[in-house]
Amino acid sequence: MTKKSNVNLLFFRAWPDTIESRAPLLSALQKIDTSFLMVSQHRFPDAFTTFVSALESALKAGLNTSTEKRADFKTLLDAAHKMHPNFTSIDSSQTRLLRDTRNTFEHFGFSPKDDSQSARLLLEIGVQLLDDWLSQAFALPLLDRSEKNGCLDWETGKHLRYSMRFFAKQAKEHEANFTHSVYTLGHSIRWRCRHSYMSDWESELANDWSAQADLSHHKKEQLQRLWLDHWNFDCPVCGEYEAFVCKLGDLCEDLQLEDIVIKEGLCVNCDFTLSPALSWMAQDLCSDQFEDALRGLTNA
Ligand SMILES: [Zn+2]
């Protein structure tokens, strides 16, 4: 895999040398960029349908199908299975659901009621299927499972892995809102692309590190006054040192250390916010730092 200066991608760090000669592979990766941008804008059905288009383009590129030849999703998948019989463990009922849902959105539109299902299908079927295909056809895994060889950039890969982990957790719940599974992915992209949405003067202000540090300090003091029992962690999204202020459950004298839990959290640098309904996510994202803090108390 190499990186070429004339290939314009947002969330990738590497791609095959053949990207420009194996059409429509470049288009597939650009659609994945667009799908992630749609996640950051809370347009989950749009993100889902764009991701399925990316999958179709990747299938065509891997199969060396002419871009002018029309081939539906099922035909492409059948050909992919013929070329690589064991390329995925996703079964035909799941791929049918993916295709039918995409077709319904394409023909009839969607509503906010479709948000959770879109996030679910994106993570449960779409990401897995595309990752399996890119690995087989291009030796190019989408997800950085080994933390060494994925084609997404490090931040995007990290947050997509979080999304898959949160999805696995939420899939055991009854009536989960699966948009929560892609919550950090969306916030990370909004944070990284924030200057694109700013006017010049806003961008200049955002780059004034001294003013931003004062603002963060002021917000942290306010939060710490509001949340008497709190711990500060490095932010799991922007990475700022001790900027993610977390409210702890009520602490009392006879409380055991193992009973200390995070109730909610807010980053004073990037405004990443986890409400009490998402305390489980705060606990998960801060688990290593949380264990360190507990060990510090034990050794005190
Ligand atoms: Zn942050």
Ordered DSSP codes for 99-129: HHHHHHHHHH---GGGHHHHHHHIIIIIIHH
Nearest in space to 261 (alpha carbons), one of 241, 291, 239, 236: 291
| Entry pTM | 0.92
Give the distance (Å) from ligand 1 centre to CA of residue 148: 24
pLDDT-flagged residues of the chain (< 70) = 1-5, 67-68, 145-149, 251-258, 300
Q: How remote is the CA of residue 234 from the centroid of ligand 1, in Å? A: 8
User: What is the distance in A from the centroid of ligand 1 to the CA of 237?
Assistant: 5
What separation in Å is there between the alpha carbon of 50 and the centre of ligand 1?
A: 28
State the distance from the centre of ligand 1 to the C-alpha of 245, rounded, in angstroms: 10
User: How far apart are alpha carbons 180 and 11 in whole angstroms?
Assistant: 21
Burial of 284 (0-12, 13-18, 19+ CB in 10 A): middle
> According to the model, what pLDDT value does residue 241 have?
96
User: Is the previous residue joined to 45 through a cis bond, with omega within 30 degrees of 0?
Assistant: no
CA of 272 to the centre of ligand 1 (A): 5
Whole-number pLDDT of residue 260? 83
How far apart are the CA of 100 and the centre of ligand 1, in A?
A: 38
| Alpha carbon distances (Å) from 27 to 2, 59, 120, 173, 238 | 17, 12, 24, 36, 29
At residue 37, the pLDDT reads 98
